[in-house]
Structure 1
Amino acid sequence: MPVSRPEALLIDADEASGFPNAPLPVLIYRQLIDAAGERAASTFEALFAAHRWPPEWRYGLFDFDHFHSTAHEALGVFRGRARIRLGGPHGSQHEIAAGDVLVLPAGVGHANLASSDDFAMVGAYPPGQRWEVERGDPARFAAACRRVAAVALPDADPVGGSLPSLWR
């Protein structure tokens, strides 16, 4: 499957809110697959696994701003649509829909602001990276930034795209 070049969004740190974000761009692959529902979920799981990003869950997106300081994250939307925020409480809003993939560098804040009732995604992470949920704490900002900086770059893009060149 040929993969088009993703949207690449740079999101600055928000020290006042405690969100490290990242010097690496968020990648958004629009309409990567043309399917919905369980077939799309299975397609994303197979695609992520084939590119060495083991899928771990099927769920929605938390409705509060959070980030993962110990893992990069790939999200494949397999049902519905959502308006999300990237970058923490002062971040930017984006629309995502079934077929889209987001690749979030460690530290990037994200939240679901509004979504269709059927909205769901597959989540995947590079091998050996374990995610946790952090909500942003200005008092712990420096420590979160150190954890984010220590997360290894993945060897491959979760969909076979241009992450290796965009994240180096």
Structure 2
Amino acid sequence: MTDADRWAYLAEGNAKQARKRVAADVLVRDTAGRVLLVNPTYKEHWDLPGGMAEANEPPRAAAERELLEELGLIITAGRPLVVDWDGPHGPWDDQLVFVFDAGTVTLNQAAAVRPVDAELDGAAFVSPAEAADRLRADMADRLARALRALEAGTTDYGEHTRA
């Protein structure tokens, strides 16, 4: 097989293989132990800050870009706390979901966090228990897993299906 044949074979495989959507969220905490949530205008529930990766964008870079675009926050996404495969649901195909540790901010920094994008109707630092009440059930579970992984120094991997 020539180099040109090999290249053509690989290009054909690349064109036919599945493309995964990638969501990249962050866990931001304040010094009081509260977690940052955002209230998207296009969803029924609050959410972890972050969003969808663009084509060929690394998940970590996507999380950092989304925080800057939506909240004006310059963060460095640290280690992954959660990596999930989220099965097809509703009109959506499957996706990979990352939750990165984004560290801790001071109480003054937390008080200054405000949405700067029309996609968000609010942002708030809340206790993990209050977060569980505001989040969709699967996101509340993902947050709990992220907090446990943070404490244990691990990364939690999961595969989830939704109706």
TM-score using structure 2 length: 0.28
> Which has more helix, going by share of residues?
2
Larger radius of gyration: 2
Normalised TM-score (structure 1): 0.28
